[in-house]
Structure 1
């Protein structure tokens, strides 16, 4: 079996690719196989590379599950629980009940669901009190709850099936449920009932979870190897470290919602660029937040707040997938509703602004490729600076998606030519799963000579359509181009505080709606994830259907008459 470059577990036998992994030393003696080797079911290298990454994750998860089973099987069975253990388990269960209730409220009730929630609390409160008074466990509900709580990572105990402690534990869980229902009912009346910090001491043994600092380092290292550029890694590391400064460096299973709330409260006091503010820059983050509040500084925008919460939340989601000890993300539910930040959204381009852009010397004639702002006779229609704005106007694609295109990504199927937005090559990035899609080439682009440009690229044996466009220091193609396009807008007087290249996507959305394109088709063209379509490529639409709708898109009032078709 031949080792193949591209992934440590990628091999080939004949023409078929395989996943092959040795069993880790710590479980080698008990694992049922000598190695995890199996066919990837393909002879295509790019498809094999995609599949081996997915299978490697599944196999690693299998290894972790085996470790967990070994750990559980080696755990001693207790004949009884101490009173202290039962009380601590009750505290943990009580805190969990109120934490779940708080999470529901953070998502916001509508009037109907709130009334239903309030009625449920009253009904369940009566049932629980009735059962508790009579020493009953209705339908064995609390026995099941007790078994589940004992399996939680901050409890992690095995109790003998016939132990007399079961009865005591069930009574304790019933009692704290009644108490928690009283707290929920008080919240429904508008009273403030704090969610207690979940007791983080483990009932049976010290935590085996890694320290937060070590886990953050592992996370950054893993993500940097997989896909993150330097800037992305730095952004995530900085904010994860700041979370640690607020919450402390502790074992991963020692964090709770209270830590997330403390981080949220600090962020909502900090101004943008607080590390550059003369009165804040030398202060620790918690002191900076307090001082900013005293100075009555304008806090960071809701968009930036949500972005920061997303950075740190990404770590906790990764931790939950990688460590048995992490059950919940302490930042879950703490983002603020985006509707509150609607004023911050970027504008679409107006018809006048679009006309100004495409009447610039770049499109009507400039001095040369470098002096594209100076009028002349040269039209640089062999460059990305020329084509990327036009492509976005008629596809709605993001700049990075277009700049990274390979010549081979321009394809034809059943007579329809389309742009294949994909991540088959390692130098490409996609924002979401839904970003992988096929966008037909609009007739306006064909009339302007886009397919002649593609044919020229093929004749030159180019790999990428726009090889002159390079990545920035942060690893993104879009970063240097964004600055360059800003200069285009400024040069024609079309720049405002609320438009950027991204405004092409908003303009495309407007044009789709004005042209009668159905919303789900527009979503498919733009790469918005449709919750009803799962991971299906192109949201399930045939490229011929997409083409039928896309060709309707037009921009009344936008003057493209000065553009000369590529000869």
Structure 2
């Protein structure tokens, strides 16, 4: 399981291994010429694949004896190992199977190995076939090492730094990123962000070994990101520099991959991408162009909810023109649900009807990963449903959708996967038509006199989430742990350790009766 990753990873590795996609002409000249595959190379490939498969488990197995958190993580890994064993075995042993798999297949990994090492091994050749065999053998060896630890026939060994020193095949930042994604199996969105960060780094710095990356490289990377312009692709979108938060995030993503390489004994030394203070490397934000994001005021909410989406429009197709036709689908309900729950757009877009628990003693939404969408950091939580929300007629809407046979709460809220995303990626709910229309038409219609046309929009659909958090936390002064649990924000390290999950039995009684003072919401 620890060598498994989303099918999107194969495409990722193909692209980062293709010199045309990551480096300019000057960098291509530095790439090594094609190498002849030898028996020694095949054995090294198998040995490294065995390490990639087994080492995360072996390290956790050692640490579990002295670390409670490591022991809990080991239990989870053992559970995953048993649950997914048959599917992983099929992915490894089945030949000529073109069906997508959530688990790493030897031929996909062989393509990455051949490209990264520069082997003369065209697909279909004996050399390429031998590399596939070496990868398969390495995977099998890795799982045997894991099984030997589990059944007690092998004792945990201390890492041999000489043995685990990275080979030329596994020494680059691209390799560190690949190993990190294999072990952590992050969400498709994180995979895409990691792809982008790596590509941008290699465009500026080139393909380098982790050991040769310097602090100067990190500063050069940050300074390059500070020149990147975003926006301007759609009407009303303002061309602007990449934000400080985005720059820090891309640096942090790559630093995490290097930390993972160090934790798995693939690299020894300080992390050159960690702890860099970037404020002196980038220009201060122009607040005239980039005002801070903020929550909505009650007067602004009342102006928004006076829009024809909520009070009556001309027809089902002319939804922004006033009239007597009442909308009763996602245009009406999605903004209201967001305001009344603080849920993210991505959480609401994929919300299944089975996760709407109106008949429970404590009505709530169950926010958890499902087949339609993931959740931030894979977390689950229960969001209490306000009494004021129920009074708007929400139960009648839910009942109507159930009778229609739909499986999602908002079946007319449709979205497509991001361009270039893998087969396991979720739809981009936050970039769907209903959200774009709310941001680009409804908000400007309601707040035209308050918003600058020459600045990034300071209020968007996401501002409804901040407004809800302020209502329960600031206006009503609920305990911070209740607030964080309901909106899905991370608790402090101490609270996470000693308090853990705050249950619906604790949150519902404190949240259900809260209201927005002065808010006017038209009923259907």
* Offset of residue 317 of structure 1: 4.6
Decide whether the 8 Å contact of 2:174 with 2:198 is kept in 1.
Answer: no
The count of aligned residue pairs is: 376
- Closer, same or farther in 2 for the Cα pair 1:397/1:363, shift >3 Å? same
Match of 2:444 in 1: 490
From 319, 334, 338, give the equivalent of 1:392.
338
Cα distance in 2 for residues equivalent to 1:29 and 1:233: 23
Gap regions ≥5 residues in structure 1: 1-5, 9-23, 76-152, 157-204, 277-296
CA pair 549-342 structure 1, distance change in 2 beyond 3 A:
farther
Q: What are the residue-to-residue correspondences of 1:267-346 with 2, within 5 Å?
A: 267-268=225-226, 270-273=227-230, 300-317=242-259, 319-320=261-262, 324-325=266-267, 328-334=270-276, 336=278, 344-346=291-293
Q: Deviations over 1:118-174 (max 9, x none)?
A: xxxxxxxxxxxxxxxxxxxxxxxxxxxxxxxxxxx7xx7xxxxxxxxxxxxxxxxxx
TM-score (norm 2): 0.59
SS at match of 1:420: strand
Aligned match of 2:357: 411
**CA displacement at 1:258 relative to structure 2:** 4.0
Q: Which residue of 2 aligns with 1:244?
A: 202
Higher relative contact order, structure no. (Cα contacts within 8 Å, ≥ 6 residues apart): 2
1:508 maps to 2:460: no
Q: 1:404 touches 1:428 (CA, 8 Å); kept in 2?
A: yes
Aligned residues of 2:365 and 2:385 also touching (Cα < 8 A): yes
- RMSD, aligned CA: 4.9
- How big is the shift at 1:506? 1.7
- Alignment partner of 1:544 is 2:512: no
Distance 1:252 1:298, change over 3 A: same
- CA-CA distance at 1:418 after TM superposition: 0.2
The structure having more radius of gyration, on CA atoms, is 1
Residue aligned with 1:419, SS: strand
Q: Residues of 2 paired with 1:261 and 1:520: CA distance?
A: 38
Q: 1:444 aligns with which of 361, 382, 388?
A: 388
Q: Does 1:354 align with 2:442?
A: no
Q: Give 1:500 shift.
A: 0.6
Secondary structure of 2:309's counterpart equals helix
| Cα pair 1:367 1:375 within 8 Å, conserved | yes
In the alignment, structure 1 residue 463 sits paired with structure 2 residue 407: yes
1:518 aligned partner: 479
Q: Report whether the alignment pairs 1:534 with 2:476.
A: no
Is 1:72 aligned to residue 160 of structure 2? yes
State how far apart, in whole Å, the 2-side matches of 1:457 and 1:215 are.
47
- Deviation string, structure 1 residues 2-22 (Cα, Å, up to 9, x no partner): xxxx999xxxxxxxxxxxxxx
Question: Any gaps of 5 or more consecutive residues in structure 2?
Answer: 8-44, 59-74, 89-102, 105-141, 234-238, 419-426, 452-456
For 2:100, the equivalent position in structure 1 comes to none
Q: TM-score, normalised by structure 1?
A: 0.55
CA shift for structure 1 position 438: 0.5
Bigger CA drift: 488-497 or 321-330? 321-330
Question: Are the counterparts in 2 of residues 212 and 244 from structure 1 also a CA contact under 8 Å?
Answer: no
1:250-301 C-alpha deviation (Å, 9 max, x unpaired) = 3333334443233234434x2534999xxxxxxxxxxxxxxxxxxxx99643
Asked if 2 retains the 8 angstrom alpha-carbon contact of 1:209 and 1:253, the reply is: no
Pairwise mapping of residues 359-370 of structure 1 onto structure 2 (< 5 A)? 359-370=306-317
CA-to-aligned-CA distance 1:32-60 (integer Å, 9 cap, x gap) = 9xxx9xxx99xx99x9689x99xx99x97
Query: Which residue of the partner structure matches residue 431 of structure 2?
Result: 479
Match of 1:555 among 486, 508, 516: 516
Asked if the contact 1:416–1:440 (Cα under 8 Å) also holds between the matched residues in 2, the reply is yes
Q: Label 1:422 to 1:341 Cα distance change in 2 as closer, same or farther (>3 A).
A: farther
Give the distance between the partners of 1:68 and 1:209, measured in 2 at CA: 24
Q: Is the 8 A contact 1:533 1:540 kept in 2?
A: no
> Helix, strand or coil: the match of 2:197?
helix
Deviation at 1:68, TM superposition (A): 11
1:448 CA drift (Å)? 0.9
Q: Deviations over 1:487-512 (max 9, x none)?
A: 22123236733111111122112212
Equivalents in 2 of 1:275, 1:239: separation in Å?
A: 21
Asked if residue 375 in structure 1 is aligned to residue 329 in structure 2, the reply is: no
Going from structure 1 to structure 2, the CA distance change for 1:212 and 1:363 (only over 3 Å counts) comes to same
Cα shift readout 1:504-546 (whole Å, capped 9, x = no counterpart): 122112212112222221111111110234389x952231321
1:439 partner SS: strand
Match of 1:459, SS state, is helix
- Comparing 210-219 with 458-467, which one deviates more in the overlay? 210-219
Kept after mapping to 1: 8 A contact 2:205/2:217: yes
How many Å separate the matches in 2 of 1:437 and 1:29?
Answer: 37
Q: 2:373 aligns with which of 421, 428, 431?
A: 428
